[in-house]
Structure 1
Amino acid sequence: MASTSSLAAQVISQAESYKGIRAGIVHLNDVLQGPSYQVDHEAPIMSDAFDGDRIVDWADEAQTVLVLGLYHPEEDPLLDYWERGDTWGNRRLREISEFLKQWLRKELDLVAYPLPYHVEKGGLFLKDAAILSGIGIIGRNNLLLHPEWGPRIRLRSILMEGDFQPTAPLSGFAPCETCEVHCQKACPMNAFAEGKYSRLNCRKQMNDDFENKVPEGEIRENGKRNLVIKYCRACEFSCPVGA
């Protein structure tokens, strides 16, 4: 029987064999005791929420989480465009999650459950999971910062059966301590005016982006391009980490 550390190494190696993926492992209970679950997080599901109507129930036997991070570089904006009810990056993460689910069953005889993005549908607070699994830290822009890619990363998770040794949180990585907060200065909605992140101000920008779709998506049969939402990424692109 393989050790828990050996199993973890195998799974992470397989996950990171996909281009632009970094992975970490964390116990589900540790995520559920994280900061996001200690506050009231009840909120309605977004009317334009992706993943359809699928709601995932967690199996009692599945107690380990594989966290996936996909690189969203500035030079490949298509990954972040919201087109036909989803982003291309999220479609890619869902595809990789399904591949890994099949691999876990075939190679390790373990059952896995790719989780939806939204907590209300059975997903996890992904930033908490990513921090605990060592993928990154939270920056002063309220985004996850990866040592190599900075905030240009999107997350997804897979719940797994089996006993895996968790990957350790990052240590010695604190780029914001000496930064001149380029992210906060770049925000077009001044979402950090009170010294902390204002979700309300940020939402105003997102609403503006939603109302101003642009024809930069796939070409339809009529020769016209799909409309896409290009959500603001000013705080991401101004961050010097991973730039």
Structure 2
Amino acid sequence: MTRYLLAAEELVAKAESYEGMRAGIADLGAVLDAPSYRCQPQGQAAWRDEHSEKSVAWLPKAASLLVLAMHHPRDQPRLDWFDRGNTAGNRRMQEVLESLAAWLLPAHRIHAQPLPYQPARGGIFLKDAAVLAGLGVMGQNNLFLHPQWGPRLRLRALLIQERLPAGERLRDFEPCRSCDQPCLSACSSGALKTGRYRRPPCAQRLERDRAHPIDSGQGGASGDPVLVTDWCRACELACPVGRY
């Protein structure tokens, strides 16, 4: 077994030792050549980004990614509630990525770097990366679909300086082929009414969510209620793929 194959296998196993996590390796060059980088929409207003994560410069000569998927079950909506510049789910995944990078260097003499969520700040298009890492497929509703969890998950990435063996894309997993597509009717914004995902109606719905925060049930330091953004998950929760 080569050094890099051993590192890849142990890194994935280490990542999946955390509860509710799955992981895979993707080739960075393949991700940068994937559809999201070649088909970025032109002429659309930029998404108003309130994430608190800082921009990063990539490690020199980076060649691989660990793609981390965290289960987000329907009965844990708090994982996706946005407050203080991030979500609880994102914060948890960042902690895991930092611990993996801290383990990888002494264990295999390989440098790694947790990436922010947003591509504009040095992140990566995560759904493409997850497909190339062999974690799932893209659905016709623009959701990433995992065989066990369906779309009920969140993604992050760890940039790796060495070229580790990449996972294989899933074959014979085409959940949308025989689906009656309840996601289409679940979307009240019309983002899926043509049978293909359209970003503007979805973005408008998310802006409405942002403009109408909900009470988290927790009190702040001053005793005032803590308000959070509860992002729409209608299509995600309507999807029958996966058991959760």
TM range (shorter): over 0.9
Q: Deviations over 1:167-212 (max 9, x none)?
A: 1111111111110001111101121122211111111211111111
Give the Å deviation of 1:40: 3.7
| Matching residue of 1:207 | 207
| Mapping for residues 79-158 of structure 1, pairs under 5 Å | 79-158=79-158
- The SS at the match of 2:214 is coil
- The SS at the match of 1:216 is strand
Structure 1 unaligned residues grouped into runs of 5+ = none
Give the Å deviation of 1:143: 0.7
Q: Which residue type is aligned with residue 158 of structure 1?
A: L
The answer to whether the aligner puts 1:238 opposite 2:238 as a matched pair is: yes
Give the Å deviation of 1:164: 1.2
Count of aligned pairs: 242
Q: Which residue type is aligned with residue 150 of structure 1?
A: G
Distance 1:127 1:110 in 2: 25
Give the Å deviation of 1:10: 0.5
Runs of 4+, deviation exceeding 4 Å? 41-46
Q: Deviations over 1:103-143 (max 9, x none)?
A: 01121121111111111111111111000001111112211
Distance 1:212 1:14 in 2: 39
Q: Deviations over 1:66-95 (max 9, x none)?
A: 101111111111101011121110011111
| Matching residue of 1:182 | 182
Q: Which residue type is aligned with residue 74 of structure 1?
A: R
- The SS at the match of 2:58 is coil
| Matching residue of 2:197 | 197
Give the Å deviation of 1:39: 2.2
Distance 2:103 2:121 in 1: 24
Give the Å deviation of 1:3: 3.7
Percent of matched pairs sharing the same residue: 41
Contact 2:209 2:232 in 1 (8 A): yes
- The SS at the match of 1:175 is coil
Q: Deviations over 1:2-26 (max 9, x none)?
A: 4432221101000111111110101
Contact 2:16 2:22 in 1 (8 A): yes
Q: Which residue type is aligned with residue 222 of structure 2?
A: N
| Mapping for residues 164-175 of structure 1, pairs under 5 Å | 164-175=164-175
Aligned Cα RMSD in Å?
1.7
The answer to whether the aligner puts 1:29 opposite 2:20 as a matched pair is: no
Distance 1:78 1:141 in 2: 24
Compared CA separation, residues 218 and 95, structure 1 to 2 (3 A) = farther
Contact 1:27 1:63 in 2 (8 A): yes
Q: Which residue type is aligned with residue 33 of structure 1?
A: D
Q: Which residue type is aligned with residue 202 of structure 1?
A: C
Give the Å deviation of 1:48: 3.5
Contact 2:51 2:86 in 1 (8 A): yes
Compared CA separation, residues 3 and 105, structure 1 to 2 (3 A) = closer
Give the Å deviation of 1:32: 0.7
Distance 2:149 2:205 in 1: 24
Give the Å deviation of 1:46: 4.2
Give the Å deviation of 1:45: 6.1
- The SS at the match of 1:24 is strand
Contact 1:110 1:162 in 2 (8 A): yes
| Matching residue of 1:9 | 9
Give the Å deviation of 1:59: 2.4
Distance 1:68 1:140 in 2: 22
Give the Å deviation of 1:60: 2.6
| Matching residue of 1:50 | 51
Contact 1:83 1:217 in 2 (8 A): no
